[in-house]
Amino acid sequence: MKSRRDQTLGPLEHIMSKTKKRVFILGHLGFRNFGDELMLQGFFDGIGSLREAIEWSFLVPKGSENFKDYSGSQVPSDVSSIMAELRCCDAVVIMGGTSFHDNYPFKRVIRYWINLAAYVFIAKICQWRRKPFLMIGVGFGPARYGLTRFFIKKIIGASNQIVVRDSTSENLLKSLKIDESKYTRGQDLALLFGQDAADVRPKEKKIVVNFIDEPCLKESDAPWHQKTIECLCVALEKFFQTHPDHELHLLPLGMGRSDRDEVALATIHERLRSTTNIKIVLHPFSAVPDTAISTLKECAAFITSRYHGAVAGYALSVPTFHVCYHPKVDTFAQDIGASDDYVLTPAMHPSADQFSQFLHDATTDTFRHPTLDVVTARKAALQSVSTFKQEVLP
């Protein structure tokens, strides 16, 4: 049995020992974001016992205390640490996420371009050193600017293989005339978490709400965002008038630099606290995905505006309403065949009646579940695992 020290070898120690293949994971890890941590957990659940046969290293913010301990080396996000890791690792994997798009305000898009340039640089180094560079479970688009499309083409050109997570990503790569042998269609890695979870819907009298704050939205969507929160509050007030025995749980799934949930949830909390007498639980954010999952497993209905909130709700067979602040949420809803009655996009006029209908359907067992079953979706997500095995462990 190896000691913890043996399992967390640094770059130089690894070169000296070289007993296992070492895989360097890139992603938005350690940034207080539920979705990215859930994707990594899903990937590890998907590869099963193979996880113990590989040495892992993870790119995380310097000094981050928000990354779950996966018994691997944490590589600080500075140039010297990254270069040292690239010299000794055997493969580099970008683990899911939505880095390859520009559907945000221009100031934030500039930050994304810097990230994309860094990814291209790393991919090119791997190409030069003949090390596998994979992107699995990744989302692409929208790509409104030419510079975004340029970076996408460059990083794909330096990649060994890519597994995209949705139809929009696949269509974007086709429009960019990317060689179809370079990519395959899969599903989101988060679908692989807890595959032994029961697929029977719980009956707890809990309504869970997650809502993202405005800063991550396009400026033009802000009025729609505010109106949606107002309509949601009206629907919740009506629901709890007739269901006073139910509880409201407000669940933050992101507390990063710009993707935050606490303002929107605080608004809902203050409104419902003053207009109802129901029990309201405002959950603290947890960097460990299991905490949020345990809350979702117990609920009767889930309203979320986060992509991986919707993925988790679907994977747990919990009735889920998708508020699509970003096209990726709408794409996921379409790909799994969610009912249009349970999806709200910025192109639609927010309505309290739509939320009310969802709450009624969820709590009276008349909810229309997505047409794509969880088992089929997980099989698609396993395409990422197959690609990883083929490219890293030939």
User: Domains plus CATH for the chain?
Assistant: 4-195+376-392 (3.40.50.2000), 206-370 (3.40.50.2000)
pLDDT at 109: 85
Q: Which of 48-57, 90-99, 116-125, 316-325 has the lowest mean pLDDT?
A: 90-99
Dihedral over alpha carbons 215, 226, 278, 294 (to 10 degrees):
-40
Q: Which of 3-12, 35-44, 214-223, 364-373 has the lowest mean pLDDT?
A: 3-12
pLDDT at 308: 94
- Indicate the pLDDT class of residue 258, thresholds 50, 70 and 90: low
Q: Which of 67-71, 227-231, 282-286 has the lowest mean pLDDT?
A: 67-71
pLDDT at 237: 97
Return the higher-pLDDT residue of 194 and 315: 315
Average pLDDT, the chain: 88
Burial of 364 from C-beta contacts in 10 A (0-12 / 13-18 / 19+): exposed
pLDDT at 4: 37
- Indicate the pLDDT class of residue 63, thresholds 50, 70 and 90: low
Over 50: is that where the pLDDT of 1 sits?
A: no
Half-sphere exposure of 127 (CA within 13 A, CB side): 14
Return the higher-pLDDT residue of 132 and 72: 132
Query: Could you report the per-residue pLDDT of 155-172, keeping only the tens digit for each?
Result: 999 999 999 999 999 999
pLDDT at 252: 95
pLDDT at 260: 78
Return the higher-pLDDT residue of 221 and 44: 44
Q: Which of 54-63, 272-281, 348-357 has the lowest mean pLDDT?
A: 54-63
Over 60: is that where the pLDDT of 45 sits?
A: yes
Query: Could you report the per-residue pLDDT of 94-113, keeping only the tens digit for each?
Result: 987 777 888 877 777 888 89
- CA atoms of 12 and 9, how far apart (whole Å): 8
- CA atoms of 258 and 173, how far apart (whole Å): 28
Over 70: is that where the pLDDT of 12 sits?
A: no
Query: Could you report the per-residue pLDDT of 314-324, keeping only the tens digit for each?
Result: 999 999 999 99
Query: Could you report the per-residue pLDDT of 204-254, keeping only the tens digit for each?
Result: 899 999 998 865 566 677 889 899 999 999 999 999 999 999 999 999 998
3-state secondary structure of 23: strand
- CA atoms of 42 and 289, how far apart (whole Å): 10
Over 80: is that where the pLDDT of 199 sits?
A: no
110 contacts: CB under 8 Å, gap ≥ 6:
none
Residue 210: name the closest of 293, 302, 304 by CA.
Answer: 304
Over 50: is that where the pLDDT of 8 sits?
A: no
User: What residues form DSSP beta bridges with 184?
Assistant: 163
pLDDT at 2: 40
Return the higher-pLDDT residue of 195 and 36: 36
Task: Give DSSP secondary structure letters for 311-352.
Answer: HHHHHTT--EEEE-SSHHHHHHHHHHT--GGGEE-TTS---H
Q: How far is CA 338 from the centre of its chain?
A: 18
Share of the chain above pLDDT 70, in %: 89
pLDDT at 197: 54
- Indicate the pLDDT class of residue 7, thresholds 50, 70 and 90: very low
Structure pTM? 0.90
Q: What's the average model confidence in pLDDT over 367-393? A: 93
Over 60: is that where the pLDDT of 13 sits?
A: no
